Structure 1
């Protein structure tokens, strides 16, 4: 929720919520779910993410038909309400590994670190340099090695 709150300028929230409401009313009338771009840098075109990090990742070349820059408006509404940090203290005693990118602008680093601080033991933080997608790309070896070590220790 905090991430969604920070992504949207306060003066744009009313318009955004109205679009969410209209999408729900349209679906109640039997219309297809409305969609919007996942990423985009044109402020006139609704998009879920506008950071350069997200744009670069999602709009990288992929084979035709593999992925399109489109998501339902309802998915956006649900993502805006999503608050996993609320539940972090309830994970215990299940071992928790959090992989957090140090300069994440998609899943904000500070909210991830705050959730980790609230989590109960056993827990481990794997802090990865870079941004949101780096644990899957340039820092995959570090992220996956940390995860494998954690799982071997706690699931063996």
Structure 2
């Protein structure tokens, strides 16, 4: 069963869905909190994952990141701005919301993320001990590496100059500079200038997620550049951590994620899924990634059932 939900995140109202598994909730269900990656909204396949989890007895809190989809931006802040640390704090607000429900067991909370939010849940697992299991799918583990991979080296200087100019304009009360998330021509400026990004975002926006907008603030890319979730991987233990990697991922460097996994401390598990970054959401890739996360949460959250 799915219901629409909303909850406060220090002045921003976040909206999403709560999935309740069938069956008796005596003592409350274990619950997984879930949000999407860079600019994506919940309709871009998070419902598919939540349905798999709920069928296994896991409740789910699925929400849009602040300023995206159905969720509000904080007062005085622009929409379409991606601040990774704000998004991590919003995961914490989602956990608090889940724990406030009578049909959730407050002591059995898991965190799932994909791509950008795959990195978020590793930070979350290291700093918030309410989280009892973590699964990150095709995770971004280094914003610096992401920036260097996605922005041509001869454009680094002009990009840094644009960051500085945007900060000055915003300080004067001007509007934030914006840029496309994806573009059909990968030589043109975009936050995610890869052909598979363009295909996935435009197709899912057309078929599933009309609320998705092909723009983010320029500052979103500046904030990406300074974000290093891999530093938190060794700090997650003793919370169980899973990484689902697509080795052919050319958007966030699958091999870098796999190398970062080696720095995590047990209990941990790595799962290799076929294809590239967006293959995780569909076809055989979805079957593998959703089942891996489901089994991880069932193992580590259901085991503590009262």
- SS at 2:272's partner residue? strand
What is the 5 A alignment of 1:83-122? 83-122=228-267
Are 1:62 and 2:206 an aligned pair? Answer: yes
Normalized per residue, which structure has more helix? 1
Whole-angstrom CA distance in 2 between matches of 1:74 and 1:23? 8
2:178 corresponds, among 31, 35, 51, to 35
Q: 2:244·2:272 contact (CA, 8 Å) conserved in 1?
A: yes
Give the whole-Å Cα distance in 2 for the aligned partners of 1:54 and 1:11. Answer: 22
CA distance in 1, matches of 2:213, 2:295: 35
TM-score (norm 2): 0.48
Count residues in correspondence: 155
Aligned to 2:279: 134
Question: Alpha-carbon deviations, 1:24-78, whole Å to 9, x = none?
Answer: 11111111111101012253x4211221111111122516852221111011111
2:294 corresponds to which of 136, 148, 151: 148
Deviations 1:61-107 (A, max 9, x none): 51685222111101111112221111110111111011111211112
TM-score (norm. length: structure 1): 0.92
Residue ranges of structure 2 left out of the alignment (5+ in a row): 1-143
Q: CA RMSD in A?
A: 1.6
Choose between structure 1 and 2: higher strand proportion.
2
How far off its partner does 1:7 sit? 2.1
Deviations 1:104-131 (A, max 9, x none): 1112101100111111111111111011
Contact 2:179–2:189 at 8 Å: present in 1 too?
yes
Distance 1:107 1:75 in 2: 16
Contact 1:53–1:105 under 8 Å retained in 2:
no
